[in-house]
Amino acid sequence: MSRLFSALALGPLTLPNRIVIAPMCQYSASDGHAGSWHAMHYGQLAQSGAGLLIVEATAVQPAGRISWADVGLWDEACADAWQPVLAGIRQWSTMPLGIQLAHAGRKASCHRPWDGGAQLAAGDARGWTTLAPSALPFASEDLPPQAMDEAAIDQLIADFAAAAQRAQALGFELIEIHAAHGYLLHQFLSPLSNTRSDRWGGSLDNRMALLLAVFDAVKAAVAPSMAVGVRISATDWVEGGWDLAQSIALARVLDARGCHFIHVSSGGLDGRQQIPVGPGYQLPLAQAIKAEVEMPVIAVGLITEPTHAEAVVATGQADAVGIARGILYNPRWPWHAAAALGVKVPVSPQYRRCEPLAQRGLFA
Ligand SMILES: Cc1cc2nc3c(=O)[nH]c(=O)nc-3n(C[C@H](O)[C@H](O)[C@H](O)COP(=O)(O)O)c2cc1C
């Protein structure tokens, strides 16, 4: 019996298996609107046999986009653009669908990664002034961000809630709040980027306050049938920054507040980070958090082999595994994993003629 291919409840949402397609920005939107790339990309991922597809970081404000080409959900026009993408997927797939809601904070207003990824120069008409807890740039060559005042913080919380409602109306079944990778909510958590002395900075409780306010507002904005969880960077990998002990404290508070899952990544806040990259390099972080909470934990980061993914969940290091680059490279990764583990996954009838050859081991 494969544990990877057993069901998992994330609060009200039951996944058919424990393979999670991690959110991946596509930088292919126009004015925040999803389009034909998203229909093609998510359409084929929805045929992969994974247990959950989490759509990329989707900005709750125009200023929350990493690049000018990011998708958004800040108004009804953005929602209208997502609608045919979702309808197309739903016509052909029952895969649970989630969306990551995000604000990039000081790491916004950038070129697309394949254009270098640097921040747009002052005066570039596609750019904007970025927001942050404190007026500290991410990279020394970046323009200083604007420290958010109370009105900006109130607006941010309201915009996360409104985007969550739009996601629900579109038929998404899960919301992942992006508090990882050095983006705005992570910037508030880390003492390296948050030097505020008001109620949103200083003590650990104060630095966690914005994420918790966003979490509470999102939960209150959606039906109880919507799964709501959080993605964190469990450490900045920099001395004096956000670390595992603080992440465990945060995870406990989220757990007590009814968070349905936590997705454990790391890094992205500070260029001085020293990340010990290797197979499963973030697993010890997920495992340490799992030991302290009731809610399911999703591990992610260079989990590429089916037998490794199976071992991660079978030994209880995490409840589910996130796969990102591996499924870009091989969008049928879950089919291969199922074959390797002696399990059958549902295959759409249009694709079933490959099955006899797969059973003869021709595609191993
Ligand atoms: C093209 C690309 C885009 C990404 N975009 C996001 C994103 O929108 N939100 C996020 O939290 N992480 C994002 N990530 C990080 C992945 O979700 C994942 O955590 C990371 O790639 C490690 O997993 P992997 O080793 O399976 O690729 C992105 C990664 C890639 C490769």
**pLDDT band with cut points at 50, 70 and 90 for residue 91:** very high
Residue 2 counted as domain residue: no
User: Is the pLDDT score of 47 beyond 90?
Assistant: yes
CB burial readout 109-128, b (16+ within 10 A) else e: bbbbeeeeeebbeeeeeebe
Reported as a pLDDT band with limits 50, 70 and 90, residue 245 is very high
Position 363 scores a pLDDT of 86
The residue whose C-alpha atom lies closest to atom 4 belonging to ligand 1 is 24
Q: Which residue's CA is the nearest one to ligand 1's atom 21?
A: 324
Sign of the alpha-carbon dihedral angle for 75, 127, 84, 91? negative
Task: List the residue whose alpha carbon is closest to atom 18 of ligand 1.
Answer: 324
* DSSP-based three-state secondary structure for 255: helix
pLDDT (0 to 100) of residue 280:
97
User: Domain of 90?
Assistant: 8-359
| CB of 176 closer than 8 Å to CB of 54 | yes
Catalytic residue among 27, 183, 329, 351, which? 183
Report how far residue 219's alpha carbon sits from residue 232's, in angstroms, rounded to the nearest whole number.
17
Residue nearest to atom 10 of ligand 1 (CA): 23
pLDDT over 90 at 314, yes or no: yes
- Residue 84: its pLDDT value, please? 98
pLDDT higher than threshold 90 for residue 290: yes
Ligand 1 nearest-atom number relative to CA 57? 8
Mutate to test the pocket of ligand 1, among 55, 325, 328, 333 (most ligand atoms within 8 A of CB): 325
Q: What is the mean pLDDT of residues 73-98?
A: 98
Answer whether residue 364 is part of any domain: no
| Atom number of ligand 1 nearest to Cα 56 | 8
Which ligand 1 atom is nearest residue 22's CA?
17
Q: CA-CA distance, 81 to 44, in Å (whole number)?
A: 18
- The answer to whether the beta carbons of residues 88 and 39 sit under 8 Å apart is yes
In a domain, 157, yes or no: yes
CB 96 within 8 A of CB 9: no
Dihedral over alpha carbons 115, 120, 125, 128 (to 10 degrees): 130
- pLDDT score for 298: 99
CA distance 19 to 323: 7
Which CATH number covers residue 120?
3.20.20.70
* Whether residue 183 lies in the annotated active site: yes
Confidence of residue 156 (pLDDT cuts 50, 70, 90): very high
Specify if 1 maps to a domain.
Answer: no
- The string of pLDDT tens digits covering residues 54-75 is 999 999 999 999 999 999 999 9
- On whether residue 50 sits in a domain, the answer given is yes
Which tens digit of pLDDT belongs to each residue from 327-336?
999 999 999 9
pLDDT of residue 361: 87
Q: What pLDDT score does 364 carry? A: 75
169-188 tens-digit pLDDT = 999 999 999 999 999 999 99
Classified as helix, coil or strand, 99 is strand
User: Residue 57 has what pLDDT?
Assistant: 98
The stretch 72-97 carries a mean pLDDT of: 98
Q: Residue 255 domain-assigned?
A: yes
Atom of ligand 1 nearest to the CA of 113: 1
User: How does the average pLDDT of the chain come out, rounded?
Assistant: 97
Ligand 1 center from residue 300 Cα (angstroms): 9
135-140: Cβ within 8 A, 24+ apart:
136/106, 136/193, 136/195, 137/106, 138/106, 138/107, 138/182, 138/193, 138/271, 139/271
Task: Determine the distance separating the centroid of ligand 1 and the alpha carbon of 314, expressed in angstroms.
Answer: 24
The DSSP call for residue 118 is P
**What is the pLDDT averaged over residues 94-118?**
98
Ligand 1 center to residue 22 CA distance, Å?
6
CA 61 to ligand 1 center in whole angstroms: 21
Which residue in the block uniquely carries the two structure tokens 């049928």?
Answer: 332
The preferred substitution site among 19, 24, 99, 186 for testing ligand 1, maximizing ligand atoms within 8 Å of CB, is: 24
Residues of the chain with pLDDT > 70, as a percent, come to: 100
Atom from ligand 1 closest to the CA of residue 322: 26
82 part of a folded domain: yes
Compute the average pLDDT of residues 199-226: 98
CA 260 – ligand 1 centroid, Å: 21
Q: What's the CA-to-centroid distance between 301 and ligand 1, angstroms?
A: 8
> Hey, what amino acid is at 72?
G
pLDDT at 359 over 90: no
Residue 220 lies in a domain: yes
- Which residue ranges have their beta carbon within 6 Å of ligand 1? 22-25, 56-57, 100, 178, 180-181, 231, 265, 300-302, 323-326
How many domains does the chain contain in total? 1
